[in-house]
Structure 1
Amino acid sequence: MPRGPGPAAQRWNGAGRGDDARRGRAASSGPAPAQAAPPPRFDAPTAASASVPPTTPRAAASARPTSAASAAPNPTRAAATPGETMTSVKRPTLEQLKSIVSDLHMSMSDREVGEYLEVLEGTFQSYDRIAALPDNLPAVRYPRTPGYKPAASENPMNAWAVKSEVRGAAHGPLAGKRIVLKDNVCLAGVPMMNGATSLEGYVPDVDATLVTRILDAGGTIVGKAHCESFCLSGGSHTSQSGPVHNPWKYGYSAGGSSSGSASLVGAGEVEMAIGGDQGGSIRMPAGWSGCYGMKPTHGLVPYTGVMPIEATIDHAGPMTTTVADNALLLEAIAGPDGLDPRQYNVRVDRYTAALGRGVAGMRIGVLVEGFGHANSEPDVDAKVREAANRLRALGAHVEDVSVPMHLDGAAIWTPIALEGLMAQMMHGNGMGFNWEGLYTTSLLDAHANWRSRANELSRTLKVSMFAGEYFIRQYRGHFYAKAQNLARQLRASYDEALSRYDLLLMPTLPMKATPIPPQNAPLALWCQRGFEMLANTCPFDVSGHPAMSIPCGLSQGLPIGAMLVAKHWGESTIYRAAHAFEQSADWREL
């Protein structure tokens, strides 16, 4: 039986989240740490790290010890970009301002442009002052080492990006737990590339809020896990460090985009991981790799310090080997931090209290539109129906329910994701504009480099960019705006069903894990393997409802995931049913 939290968890209140933070106000960042020396160099990954098959799938590989003890007792912020601190800004030349005038569809003489240049000098002096002031960033508090890129012998699934060690507080609910981070999460002093060569060499200078909360809760962060290139794939074949393999069947997809996180948890190398989810990227790899993946309610977990794609669909959440660990990790990272505009009216619960309560009296609606898709595999649909029957046998009232608009969910998601990623992640260098909170300026500066290396971007990102840019240019953002309007209607349709049922149940993915395509695969196959599985997951990124993939059986040696969806802030309801199902049988034998 998985263990629940002990007395330490009951005493712990979540360091750094006092009354001010719970009310959504930012805590003081404290004095800025001193500037660190340039980060150490990393060895380049070898081709063998992605091509040597493991001796046994799911064999746990021990991490090489790192010299955490040698880290400075008061760690300083690592340099994220080369060069000295900027103290003034360059003035535009006459030709540069003439180009801007032309790009803004205006006509001016050189004399007029010159006059504007003179008038702008006072504005530039304000920018000089901002350039000279130190940035206002949270202090980095726990010693750490930059880690190392593991050799193929200790990275059989190519799931590890970096092995490192950051020990948290001596006591707390996560004491003794080993956690890996998706490589789009900022961990100060440890390299991050988000699956893309254009970001390779970037070293964050801040810890994501969820990193600080894990460490404050006593957890040990043991490294970073590979993810898909800029998180734009539901398959595990697009990382520019090579494909990530399924822990149950080498050569098959682990799911994406939190591919390395799922593979490491599914293989038993770590108990807990952090994933990110904009279209299903926690739940899909959890479904294919055989672990528990929770996409929380939008805004429940602060996204601060995680590389964004599109703010209205950005989510971060836990991926674990057990339901109890999932609830425990969510307890540690949930709640407002005052720095993330995605968070409003956040409602936090004690999620571990839901464990062991059973499902007697619960009403579960089996979403008929979640089954029988054109690419659905009969054994997947059958296993999820069997899971529904098991929940019925455990005492829940289970019946079919129809939400016709679910079939439009993926279409509504598409303009939001594609036009949104162009506006925020690409044109906006990840951060975008028009929001208050913590801007990770070093990441913004590093990611802006994509323009000089655009040919290196993954094919799944390129096809997404082409579509998003076309509709922005030709239709002025009309379809993004209309999709956001329709998102309210989609959300209301799920809310109506959830007013009658405690949970909705459906397959996480319509099919089992697919073979990893070769690097020279045709474009159509490459992109198909990246996007063919989103139909049930991406609508809930748009609607913001909490949704969790739970393993419900094996077919042909591959895991199958069932997805549970609850009302907003209803994560405890999901954990109640997921735990009852988990305790009723070993899913590997179903």
Structure 2
Amino acid sequence: MAIIRPTLEQVQDLASRLHIQLTPEQASEYLALMQPSFDAYDLVDELPDFIPPVRYERSSGYRPSSTDNPLNAWYYRTEVMGASSGKLAGKTVALKDNISLAGVPMMNGAAPLEGFVPSFDATVVTRLLDAGATILGKATCEHYCLSGGSHTSDPAPVHNPYRHGFTTGGSSSGSAALVASGEVDLAVGGDQGGSIRIPAAWCGIYGMKPTFGLVPYTGVMAIESTFDHVGPMTSNVRDNALMLEVMAGADGLDPRQSAPKVDAYCDYLERGVIGLRIGVLQEGFQLANQDPRIAEKVRSAIARLEALGARVEEVSVPEHTLAGSLWSPIGCEGLTMQMMHGNGAGFNWKGLYDVGLLDKQAGWRDQANALSPSLKLCMFVGQFGLERYNGRYYAKAQNIARFARAAYDKALNTYDLLVMPTVPITAQPLPEPGSSITETVTRALEMLGNTAAQDVTGHPAMSIPCGLVDGLPVGLMFVARHYAEGTLYQAAAAFEASVDWRTL
């Protein structure tokens, strides 16, 4: 059908919003000249969309009751059975609820998206199903994924499996809780500031943020295309490595990818750490809110690696702190433009667009007052930077990010891995309903000190469980060279095999 043409008055109004003044005569002339372009719009409207076919049967599923969902970790339940054989045959999977699963509702933790149903599967979904996995549903995630806690999701706050009433971490909150509680074998999370690794640390599981662009982000709702990562969350190292083998590699649809270097990650699991060079990152232990008990657990785990044969030294990389600071101008201005003004897609990149998601996300403007405080905060910062400074700080921060990456690279020329606490504190109590803006935002952002940096620099980073403090899990984070995920698995597997972390 033909698109609606603007009236003469609407053309004048459009011009005015573009800071252009038109006389009625000029507007009429332009309106006539616009018609051939609108004919092209008509053609696009008539053609079917060019999206991947859905290859595995599934039902639309259902919202589980609170009785069947005690941690609030499920958003939607369904069952999609994959191939009869493959690397993940017999394994069950939960998908973070910003990942498209055709025919099954996707809310991304936010009321403006409630009722949206994707029409195609994300690339990682198809790859998991091709490898024999069975998808059991969508895991609750934080409000537009803008929280490192688990209290901002519009469906409900997600409870920690180790202590009800405490946060799981976020934004892949439900993904971590479902793996930790044994409801699924595997989960897929997303990471733009630590959203895989934070909940992995607080729920006592293994969370991998791969090298930027290693795993295609196609079919996952974007936040900021230079930060967007998706990766595996599992209860053991081998499953994590298997999952990454299945998920990694170019799909030809994600412009975030540039000839990613895929490896046989399971080949690293039995290599041990004898001779492995590990740099203990001093800045990673110097966060203002560092709990000394967390630091002690992590240093004890490092000592165990040293006893297993690793060569361990202290190292300083001041740019680690700088990289974390760069997140604010890039993340806040980027998400304001891409996820909000750009309706979840943005412009000027070639990739697979979800037109239905774009249409649905445009409705956020009608519910803007209900956006989470942490998202509002980022939008206020981002909009100010865009309006007052024309995006120059986004641009300059992207330039400086290359400097921060080079500093990591320099340290990783000497060391195979850098190591530090994943998060500086243990899981905190969930804020009470009606909590102040300050408390809500604090509980959403207080844990990002070590994890945001690798989203800026793109280096792979993995959180592994290394002990308990007051009955709550502690995470140790490894960082490696770009595309050196195998080295992360090498160290993680050696530590896992040496001790039951729950006894530490």
**Shorter-chain TM-score: what band?**
over 0.9
Deviation at 1:435, TM superposition (A): 1.2
Corresponding residue to 1:260 among 174, 182, 196: 174
Provide the C-alpha distance between the structure 1 equivalents of 2:490 and 2:197, rounded to a whole number of angstroms: 18
Deviation at 1:372, TM superposition (A): 2.5
Give, as a single letter, the amino acid of the residue that structure 1 aligns with 2:45.
A
Kept after mapping to 1: 8 A contact 2:274/2:309: yes
Say if 2:286 is the partner of 1:286. Answer: no
- Hey, what does 1:496 align to over in structure 2? 410
Corresponding residue to 1:477 among 383, 391, 395: 391
Say if 2:166 is the partner of 1:166. Answer: no
Q: Secondary structure at the match of 1:369?
A: helix
Corresponding residue to 1:511 among 416, 420, 425: 425
Corresponding residue to 2:113 among 178, 193, 199: 199
- Hey, what does 2:22 align to over in structure 1? 108
Corresponding residue to 1:326 among 240, 249, 252: 240
Could you list the runs of 5+ residues in structure 1 that have no partner in the other structure? 1-86
Deviation at 1:571, TM superposition (A): 0.2
Deviation at 1:315, TM superposition (A): 0.1
The sequence identity of aligned pairs, in percent, is 59
Provide the C-alpha distance between the structure 2 equivalents of 1:149 and 1:474, rounded to a whole number of angstroms: 44
- Hey, what does 1:339 align to over in structure 2? 253
- Hey, what does 1:543 align to over in structure 2? 457
Corresponding residue to 1:226 among 117, 140, 143: 140
Corresponding residue to 2:151 among 230, 237, 261: 237
Say if 2:229 is the partner of 1:315. Answer: yes
Provide the C-alpha distance between the structure 2 equivalents of 1:151 and 1:393, rounded to a whole number of angstroms: 48
Provide the C-alpha distance between the structure 1 equivalents of 2:2 and 2:214, rounded to a whole number of angstroms: 39
Provide Cα deviations, 1:156-209, integer angstroms capped at 9, x if missing partner: 100000111000000101000000000000000000000011000000000000
Give, as a single letter, the amino acid of the residue that structure 2 aligns with 1:147.
G
Give, as a single letter, the amino acid of the residue that structure 1 aligns with 2:305.
L
Deviation at 1:95, TM superposition (A): 2.0
Provide the C-alpha distance between the structure 1 equivalents of 2:6 and 2:477, rounded to a whole number of angstroms: 54
Give, as a single letter, the amino acid of the residue that structure 2 aligns with 1:128.
D
- Hey, what does 2:376 align to over in structure 1? 462
Provide the C-alpha distance between the structure 1 equivalents of 2:157 and 2:485, rounded to a whole number of angstroms: 32
Describe how 1:79-158 pairs up with structure 2 within 5 A: 87-158=1-72
Deviation at 1:363, TM superposition (A): 0.2
Kept after mapping to 2: 8 A contact 1:409/1:535: no
Deviation at 1:464, TM superposition (A): 1.0
Q: Secondary structure at the match of 1:152?
A: coil
Give, as a single letter, the amino acid of the residue that structure 2 aligns with 1:157.
L
Provide the C-alpha distance between the structure 1 equivalents of 2:239 and 2:367, rounded to a whole number of angstroms: 40
Corresponding residue to 2:267 among 336, 350, 353: 353
- Hey, what does 1:22 align to over in structure 2? none
Provide the C-alpha distance between the structure 1 equivalents of 2:3 and 2:413, rounded to a whole number of angstroms: 56
Say if 2:100 is the partner of 1:186. Answer: yes
Q: Secondary structure at the match of 1:445?
A: helix
- Hey, what does 2:364 align to over in structure 1? 450
RMSD: 0.7
Say if 2:305 is the partner of 1:391. Answer: yes
Provide the C-alpha distance between the structure 1 equivalents of 2:11 and 2:200, rounded to a whole number of angstroms: 51
- Hey, what does 1:565 align to over in structure 2? 479
Q: Secondary structure at the match of 1:153?
A: coil
Provide the C-alpha distance between the structure 2 equivalents of 1:512 and 1:496, rounded to a whole number of angstroms: 31
Provide the C-alpha distance between the structure 2 equivalents of 1:562 and 1:545, rounded to a whole number of angstroms: 16
Say if 2:433 is the partner of 1:522. Answer: no
- Hey, what does 1:582 align to over in structure 2? 496
Kept after mapping to 1: 8 A contact 2:324/2:456: no
Give, as a single letter, the amino acid of the residue that structure 1 aligns with 2:259.
N
Provide the C-alpha distance between the structure 2 equivalents of 1:283 and 1:217, rounded to a whole number of angstroms: 24
Provide the C-alpha distance between the structure 1 equivalents of 2:205 and 2:450, rounded to a whole number of angstroms: 18
- Hey, what does 1:296 align to over in structure 2? 210
- Hey, what does 1:555 align to over in structure 2? 469
Q: Secondary structure at the match of 1:120?
A: helix
- Hey, what does 1:79 align to over in structure 2? none
Provide the C-alpha distance between the structure 1 equivalents of 2:58 and 2:259, rounded to a whole number of angstroms: 34
Kept after mapping to 1: 8 A contact 2:280/2:314: yes
Kept after mapping to 1: 8 A contact 2:271/2:490: yes
Provide the C-alpha distance between the structure 2 equivalents of 1:267 and 1:522, rounded to a whole number of angstroms: 31
| TM-score between both structures, scaled by the size of structure 2 | 0.99
Give, as a single letter, the amino acid of the residue that structure 2 aligns with 1:110.
P
Provide the C-alpha distance between the structure 1 equivalents of 2:66 and 2:52, rounded to a whole number of angstroms: 36
Give, as a single letter, the amino acid of the residue that structure 2 aligns with 1:589.
T
Provide Cα deviations, 1:384-410, integer angstroms capped at 9, x if missing partner: 111110000000001111001111122
| TM-score between both structures, scaled by the size of structure 1 | 0.85
Q: Tell which deviates more after alignment, 187-196 or 262-271.
A: 262-271
Give, as a single letter, the amino acid of the residue that structure 1 aligns with 2:258.
Y
Kept after mapping to 2: 8 A contact 1:372/1:381: no
Provide the C-alpha distance between the structure 2 equivalents of 1:561 and 1:159, rounded to a whole number of angstroms: 21
Provide Cα deviations, 1:310-344, integer angstroms capped at 9, x if missing partner: 00000000000000000000001100000000000
Kept after mapping to 2: 8 A contact 1:226/1:258: yes
Provide Cα deviations, 1:110-146, integer angstroms capped at 9, x if missing partner: 1111110011111110111111011100000000011
Say if 2:400 is the partner of 1:486. Answer: yes
- Hey, what does 2:126 align to over in structure 1? 212
